[in-house]
A and B are shown apart, each in its own frame.
Chain A
Amino acid sequence: MSEITSPSPEIQSNSSSASSDNDPDPPIHLRLPPLSYSLFDAEPSEPNGVVHGSASSEPPKPSQSHEVVIRGSSEPPSPSSSGYAGERGSSSATSISAADDLTHHEIEELSIHDDPLPPPTSLPGKRNADEDDASISWRKRKKHFFVLSHSGKPIYSRYGDEHKLAGFSATLQAIISFVENGGDRVKLVRAGNHQVVFLVKGPIYLVCISCTEEPYESLRGQLELIYGQVIVILTKSINRCFERNPKFDMTPLLGGTDIVFSSLIHSFNWNPATFLHAYTCLPLTYATRQAAGAILQDVVDSGVLFAILMCRHKVISLVGAQKATLHPDDMLLLVNFIMSTESFRTSESFSPVCLPRYNPLAFLYAYIHYFDDDTYLMLLTTRSDAFYHLKDCRIRIETVLLKSNVLSEVQRSLLDGGMRVEDLPPLPPHSGSSSHLGYPGLPTDSPYRSREPGSGTGGAAGLWHFIYRSIFLDQYVSSDFSSPVNSPRQKKRLYRAYQKIFSSMHDKGIGPNKTQFRRDENYVLLCWVTQDFELYAAFDPLADKALAIKTCNRVCQWVKDVENEIFLLGASPFSW
C-alpha cells in the first residue's frame, strides 16, 4: 500500500488523451473537473472547447476562473467518451502531471455503455443496454430511474440505452411541463402497483417508475440522492449551461459514471443510510478510534477541511475543520462515488468532488488513498494545489495507523462483525469496556462467536434484527443479519419493511409519531422515536408483544453500554 511513488516530473501534462499507454502502473491519478460553466459549454463554436488533459500551466483552483477543461462535444458524444477523459489535468507548477495512460485505463473501466467486459466489481454498471421502451423486458423492470433535461433530452436511464429512450424521455418531459403549464407541479402518479415519482431540480428532471411497494417519500428521497450524485460529479453550476443553451446535452459530462449511479441505486436496496440520513461506524475499541481520530485531527489542523477514515461503507473516524459540517447524505454520496469508481482503488488519487449539502456550487478536492482492500482515507480540501500537502498528510496518518495497530484492529473488527441479536445481554446490563461489544467473558475468538451462521433463530423473544439511530450523533448501528434473515431476498424485504415504517413514522405533516407496532405476515416491527434516538426492531411475526417491548428496552440498554465502541463520540462535525 505504500508503493505509490511520487509522480515523475517528466510525465508532463499533454494535450492528447489516452496516448501514453506504455506505463503499466502509473503512480498517480489526478482528476480535475470542469470548474466553470464555460467548461461545460458544449457549443462546437466555442474556442478551446475541447482539451484533453490540461494544457494549463496554472494549478487548478476552486474558482470560476479555472482553465481546466474537459472533453467537450465537438467530438461526437460516443458512449465511450468519458466525462473524465480530459479531467486529468495537471498542476504543472508543482510538476504533478496526470498519467495519460491512466486516462485510457479509466475509460475502459468506467464506460460500460458498449463495453462487453463484465464490471470489475460486484456492482454492475449499465445493464441491459439493448433494451428500450418497446421491449417487454424493459417494461417489466421493477424499478426505473431516469434523469432528463428540461428539454426532454435523456441524461441517464437505469435500464436501456439513453439514446434509444429519447422518445420516452420526451414523454416524461411532456407530462411534467403539461402540469407545469397549468401552474402546478406533478409529484406522483399511481397506477395499480406502480408509482411514477417526479422530482424537478431546476433544468434537471428526475423520474422513478417503480412497482416495489416502497413509499412515495422513500422513492422521492432516492431521486434526491441521485440528483445529489449528479451534483457530486458536476456541481450545480451545470444549471448555467442550461440557461445558456436549453438543449444542452449533459450526457457526455456524465459519460462513464453509470457505475456510480447503478451502485447508488443498488444501495437503495441495502444501505439504511439512504433513508435514515445517518452514517454508521465500524465497531472498534474506544482507544483504537481515539488513536485514529487524533491523527486525523492533527491533519485537519494543518489546513484540511475534512479527514475521513473509512472501512468500506463504515466510518472509522472523521474530523472536520472548525465550523465545517458534513451532512450524512453528502457522506453517503461521496463514499458511493469513491467506492464505485474502481480506479481509486488502484492508485492514489486526487479528484474534484462537490458536496451538495456543504456547497452545491463549488468543487472540493478529495485526496483518496486505499491502505488495503477495505480501508481508505479521504482528505478534503478547498485547495486544488494541495495534492502534495495531502499526500504528506496521508503518509503521516499511515505511519500512525500502522504504529498504533489501527489497520489490523480494523481487519479484526471486520472478522468479528457487529452486534448480533443472539448476543443480546440480559437485563440488568453487564458492561465491560474490554469485551467485544460489551459481551463479557466472550473473547472475540471464542467458539460462541464463531458458530456457524444459520444455526440460530434470532435473539430473545424472537428478535431478528434491529437498527438504532442516535439523533444527536447522526449515526446509526444496525445488527448483523442472522437467521432466519439470511438470503439477499429476505434482507431486502426486511430493509423495505424498515423503509416503510420509517416513512410512516416521519410523516411530514403530522409526524413524527412516537411509537409504532406493526404486525403482518412477515414480521412484528416495533419502532420507537424519542428526542435522543430511534429504534427499529424486527421480530418473528408470532412474537409476544410484551416480551418484544422488553427486548427493545434491552437492546437500547445494550447499545448504550457499548456506545463507545459502535459510535464515533466526541467532536461531532455532523451538526448542520
Chain B
Amino acid sequence: MRMGLSSAATENECVELCIFDLRRGQHEGQELDKILFFFPAGLPFSKQLSVVGLSEGLITFTRIFSPEAACEVIEAERHSHIFYEAEPDIWMVMVVEKSNDSEPIWRDDALRKVLKEIHSLFVMFHGTIRALLEKEPGGGLIRRHLYSFVMDYLRACKKRPPWNNCCCDYLVGKKLLLPSFRDCLKEQGTVQMLTIGREAAIEVQSLVRVLESSAGNMPCYSLILFQDLLVSTTLSPDDTINLFTYAVLRLTPQALSVGVSSWSYLRKGNTASSVAIESNIAIPSSASESFYGSSEVSPTEDSQYHVVRPLQSEKWSKGKDGYLVTDLWGAEVGTWVFATPTVWLRQTGERMYLCAYQHRNLTLLLLIPVSSIANGEQGVSAVKQQVLEQASLKILKVEEKLSKGWGGENAYHVSGYRYLLVDGDRNVSRATPPTKVATLTKESLLAMNKLRKEVELEKSRAKLDNVDCEKDMEVCIRAKNNAWVISRITRGRELYMVLEKANETLLYATDAVEKFSNKYCDGTFSLD
C-alpha cells in the first residue's frame, strides 16, 4: 500500500499556501501588504510576491471573460495552483508541485475543500478575516492569527513519526499530507454518520431533548458523536460540518489518544493514503518571522496580541467530571479557571460557549449562547453541572446501546464493493473503510480519481448554468486493468464505486450497483 506512495513523494515536492487580500497593497512597493499568510514562511519575499502576482494577474485576466467566477485553477507542467475566494477579495491559493510530468494525482476539488475547511474553521473560532482586518488595519493581528491557525492546521496534517513528538521539529523535513488519488473514495467537507436502529434512535432523541432542556430557557444546540461518527445534531449543516471536523480532529477519544489508529479521513496524521509532500522549509527567516509572527510563542507570553490557537494539538484532556478541558483559551481574567472555548455559529452569527463531555466512546458537544450567560465561567459551570445531573443516566444508556450495536471500524464495509456515497443536500458521506480501499490497485484508484474529476466538472457546470433540474447521470467505465469504475448521480445523491473482481460485462456491473442500491441506499440508484 505504501509502495505507490514512496514513488510519489520525491525530495523536490513542495507545497505553498498563500492567503492575500486584493484590496491591500495597491501601490507599487507596497505589494507585500497584500500577503496575509504564506507557507512556507521562510520563502524569500520575492518568491512569495511572484506567487501572489501571478494569482492576482490571472484573477484579473479571467474576469474579462468570466466575471462571475474568476480563476479557480492554473495547471502548469510542474505545478497546480488551486484558488479559493474565501471572502470577497480575500483569496487562498495552494501551489502543489507535481511529481514527474505525470498527470496530477490529486483532484482540484479535494484540495479546494482543504482550503475551504481551513477558512471555515478559522471563521468559526476567530470570525472573518475581513473583520479582523477592519479591527486592526495594519494587518498584524490577522497575520498573527492566520499564521498560528494555519500552521496548527498543517501540523495536524503532518505525518508524525512515533519516535519524534517534539513540536519544534515539525516543520523541518516533515511531510505534509494532502488528499490524493488514494482518497478518491472519500469526500472532504462531509460528515460521517452512525447508522442506528429505531430503538437507539429514540434513546438518542430523548437525550437530545434532555440536553436542550437542561440548559434552561437558553436556545442551545447539541452535537453527539459516537467514536468518530455523528449520531445527532441540532445545528445547521454548515455549523455541523465545522464542529464535527473540529471534534474529530481534537476532541473524540481517538483524537485525545494520539497515535491510536483511526479510520476517519479527518485524522490525516495516521492515514498513509495521502500524498506526502515535503515541506522543505527552514526555520522562518527573521524577516518573515516578524512579518507573520512566530507561532511558537505561547498565547500568554504574546505581549502584543492574544492569539487563541484552537487547533494546537494535545491541548485537550478529559477532566474528572467527564468534561473535556483545555487551556487553549487561556484563563478567565484574574482567576486560574480555564476559560471555556467559544465559537461563532455561521447560521446565526451568534457566539457560543463550547462544552464537550465525554463518556467512553460518546462525545457530546453543547453550545450555549454567550449572551445568555451573565456571569461568565461561573454560569457555564452551573449549566455543565445541571446537564450532568439531568442527563448522565441517559448518556450511559445511549453509550451502552450504541456500543452494543457498533460493528467496529469495518462496520460499513460491503464485501466485494469499494464505494463512496455522498448526500450533497445533507453533506453526509459514507465510504468503504480506508484499509479496504487500500486493497485496490493503483490503476483502479487513478481511474476513479479521473472519473471523479470529470464528474466534478459536469457538476460545477450544471451549477453555473443554473440548471433547475439537478444533474442526473450515470457513468460506467471498464478501465484498462478490467476494473469497473462507476459513478451515479441522482437527485443530489452520488455513488462512486470500484469493482475489481467483477465479471466483464456491463450488465453484470450494472446489476452489482443495483443490488447495492437496493440494499444500502433505499433504491436511490436503482433504475426503476
Give the docked Cα–Cα distance between A512 and B482 (Å): 11
Interface string of B438-478 (1 = CB under 8 A from A): 00000100110010001000100100110001011111111
In the assembled complex, how far is the CB of residue A563 from the closest CB belonging to chain B, in whole angstroms? 25
Q: Which residue of B lies closest to A518 (CB)?
A: B475
Q: Which residue of A lies closest to B76 (CB)?
A: A184
A211 touches B65 (CB 8 A): yes
Given A187-B77, A192-B464: A520 touches B473 (CB 8 Å cut-off): yes
User: Which A residues lie within 8 Å of B70 (CB)?
Assistant: 191-192
User: Which B residues lie within 8 Å of A472 (CB)?
Assistant: none
Interface string of B466-510 (1 = CB under 8 A from A): 000101111111111010000000000000000000000111001
Our pick among A184, A192, A511 for the contact of B79 (Cβ within 8 Å) is A184
Given A194-B65, A510-B443: A516 touches B475 (CB 8 Å cut-off): yes
A191 touches B506 (CB 8 A): no
Interface string of A527-546 (1 = CB under 8 A from B): 00000000000000000011
Chain B CB within 8 A of A441 CB: no
Q: Which residue of B lies closest to A525 (CB)?
A: B475
B76 touches A179 (CB 8 A): yes
Query: What's the count of A-B pairs with C-beta under 8 Å?
Result: 140
Our pick among A186, A213, A516, A517 for the contact of B74 (Cβ within 8 Å) is A186
Our pick among A139, A171, A510 for the contact of B480 (Cβ within 8 Å) is A510
Give the docked Cα–Cα distance between A545 and B475 (Å): 12
Chain B CB within 8 A of A513 CB: yes
Give the docked Cα–Cα distance between A509 and B103 (Å): 6
Chain A CB within 8 A of B520 CB: no
A211 touches B66 (CB 8 A): yes
Chain A CB within 8 A of B57 CB: yes
B65 touches A209 (CB 8 A): yes
Interface string of A152-174 (1 = CB under 8 A from B): 00000000000000000001001
Chain A CB within 8 A of B64 CB: yes
Q: Which residue of B lies closest to A187 (CB)?
A: B75
User: Which A residues lie within 8 Å of B108 (CB)?
Assistant: 190
Given A191-B70, A193-B69, A512-B480: A521 touches B472 (CB 8 Å cut-off): yes
Interface string of B331-345 (1 = CB under 8 A from A): 000000000000000
Chain A CB within 8 A of B73 CB: yes
Chain A CB within 8 A of B72 CB: yes
Give the docked Cα–Cα distance between A444 and B155 (Å): 75
Chain A CB within 8 A of B135 CB: no
Our pick among A184, A511, A514, A521 for the contact of B78 (Cβ within 8 Å) is A184
User: Which A residues lie within 8 Å of B479 (CB)?
Assistant: 510, 513-514
Given A191-B71, A211-B66, A549-B506: A511 touches B480 (CB 8 Å cut-off): yes
Given A194-B62, A209-B65, A545-B510: A188 touches B478 (CB 8 Å cut-off): no
Q: Which residue of B lies closest to A512 (CB)?
A: B480
Give the docked Cα–Cα distance between A512 and B479 (Å): 7
Q: Which residue of B lies closest to A171 (CB)?
A: B61
Q: Which residue of A lies closest to B527 (CB)?
A: A545
Give the docked Cα–Cα distance between A508 and B76 (Å): 16
User: Which B residues lie within 8 Å of A518 (CB)?
Assistant: 473-476
In the assembled complex, how far is the CB of residue B120 from the closest CB belonging to chain A, in whole angstroms? 22
Our pick among A182, A191, A507, A545 for the contact of B65 (Cβ within 8 Å) is A191
Chain A CB within 8 A of B50 CB: yes
Q: Which residue of A lies closest to B442 (CB)?
A: A510
Our pick among A182, A209, A213, A511 for the contact of B50 (Cβ within 8 Å) is A182
A514 touches B443 (CB 8 A): no
Chain B CB within 8 A of A504 CB: yes
A191 touches B54 (CB 8 A): no
Q: By CB atoms of chain A within 10 A, which of B61, B70, B443 has the most? A: B61
Give the docked Cα–Cα distance between A23 and B443 (Å): 68
Chain A CB within 8 A of B68 CB: yes
Our pick among A133, A171, A515 for the contact of B477 (Cβ within 8 Å) is A515
In the assembled complex, how far is the CB of residue B212 from the closest CB belonging to chain A, in whole angstroms? 43
In the assembled complex, how far is the CB of residue A257 from the closest CB belonging to chain B, in whole angstroms? 26
User: Which B residues lie within 8 Å of A133 (CB)?
Assistant: 64
User: Which B residues lie within 8 Å of A179 (CB)?
Assistant: 54, 74, 76
B76 touches A516 (CB 8 A): no
Give the docked Cα–Cα distance between A175 and B510 (Å): 46
User: Which B residues lie within 8 Å of A186 (CB)?
Assistant: 74-76
In the assembled complex, how far is the CB of residue A287 from the closest CB belonging to chain B, in whole angstroms? 40
Chain B CB within 8 A of A519 CB: yes
Give the docked Cα–Cα distance between A316 and B506 (Å): 38
B66 touches A194 (CB 8 A): yes
User: Which A residues lie within 8 Å of B447 (CB)?
Assistant: 510, 513
User: Which A residues lie within 8 Å of B57 (CB)?
Assistant: 174-175, 178
Which residues between 67 and 101 of chain B lie within 8 Å of chain A, taking CB atoms? 68-79
A192 touches B72 (CB 8 A): yes
Q: By CB atoms of chain A within 10 A, which of B64, B69, B78, B510 has the most? A: B64
Chain A CB within 8 A of B102 CB: yes
Q: Which residue of B lies closest to A198 (CB)?
A: B76
B480 touches A192 (CB 8 A): no
User: Which B residues lie within 8 Å of A190 (CB)?
Assistant: 71-73, 75, 108
Give the docked Cα–Cα distance between A211 and B460 (Å): 13
Give the docked Cα–Cα distance between A196 and B61 (Å): 10
User: Which A residues lie within 8 Å of B49 (CB)?
Assistant: none
Chain A CB within 8 A of B58 CB: yes
Give the docked Cα–Cα distance between A508 and B101 (Å): 11
B473 touches A517 (CB 8 A): no
A520 touches B472 (CB 8 A): yes
Give the docked Cα–Cα distance between A509 and B8 (Å): 14
In the assembled complex, how far is the CB of residue B74 from the closest CB belonging to chain A, in whole angstroms? 5
Chain B CB within 8 A of A183 CB: yes
In the assembled complex, how far is the CB of residue B463 from the closest CB belonging to chain A, in whole angstroms? 10
Q: By CB atoms of chain B within 10 A, which of A507, A510, A545 has the most? A: A510
Q: Which residue of B lies closest to A180 (CB)?
A: B76
Q: Which residue of B lies closest to A191 (CB)?
A: B62
Given A509-B103, A516-B477: A189 touches B66 (CB 8 Å cut-off): no
B68 touches A185 (CB 8 A): no
In the assembled complex, how far is the CB of residue A332 from the closest CB belonging to chain B, in whole angstroms? 27
Q: By CB atoms of chain B within 10 A, which of A133, A171, A211, A517 has the most? A: A517
Give the docked Cα–Cα distance between A521 and B63 (Å): 30
User: Which B residues lie within 8 Å of A193 (CB)?
Assistant: 66, 69, 461, 464-465
B71 touches A189 (CB 8 A): yes
Q: Which residue of B lies closest to A548 (CB)?
A: B506
Give the docked Cα–Cα distance between A549 and B65 (Å): 42
User: Which A residues lie within 8 Å of B473 (CB)?
Assistant: 518-521
User: Which A residues lie within 8 Å of B102 (CB)?
Assistant: 509
Give the docked Cα–Cα distance between A507 and B476 (Å): 15
In the assembled complex, how far is the CB of residue A489 from the closest CB belonging to chain B, in whole angstroms? 16
Our pick among B77, B446, B458, B506 for the contact of A184 (Cβ within 8 Å) is B77
Our pick among A187, A194, A216, A517 for the contact of B474 (Cβ within 8 Å) is A517
Our pick among A171, A174, A185, A513 for the contact of B76 (Cβ within 8 Å) is A185
A509 touches B62 (CB 8 A): no
Q: Which residue of A lies closest to B47 (CB)?
A: A182
Our pick among A178, A191, A517 for the contact of B476 (Cβ within 8 Å) is A517
User: Which B residues lie within 8 Å of A188 (CB)?
Assistant: 73-75
Q: Which residue of A lies closest to B454 (CB)?
A: A504
Q: Which residue of A lies closest to B446 (CB)?
A: A510
User: Which B residues lie within 8 Å of A194 (CB)?
Assistant: 62, 65-66, 69
User: Which A residues lie within 8 Å of B458 (CB)?
Assistant: 520
Q: Which residue of B lies closest to A213 (CB)?
A: B461
Our pick among A183, A189, A515 for the contact of B73 (Cβ within 8 Å) is A189
Give the docked Cα–Cα distance between A190 and B83 (Å): 10
Name 16 A/B residue pairs within 8 A (Cβ), A-sorted.
A139-B65, A175-B61, A179-B76, A182-B50, A188-B75, A189-B75, A192-B72, A196-B65, A504-B477, A509-B102, A518-B473, A518-B474, A520-B472, A521-B469, A545-B510, A546-B507
Question: Which 5 A/B pairs are nearest by Cβ-Cβ distance?
Answer: A192-B69, A191-B62, A515-B478, A188-B75, A509-B103
Beyond the given A191-B66, A514-B480, could you list 7 further A-B residue pairs with CB under 8 A, ordered by the A residue number? A171-B61, A183-B78, A187-B76, A194-B62, A509-B103, A509-B450, A518-B475
Residue numbers of A with Cβ under 8 A of B are: 133, 139, 171, 174-175, 178-179, 182-194, 196, 209, 211, 213, 216, 504, 507-521, 545-546, 549
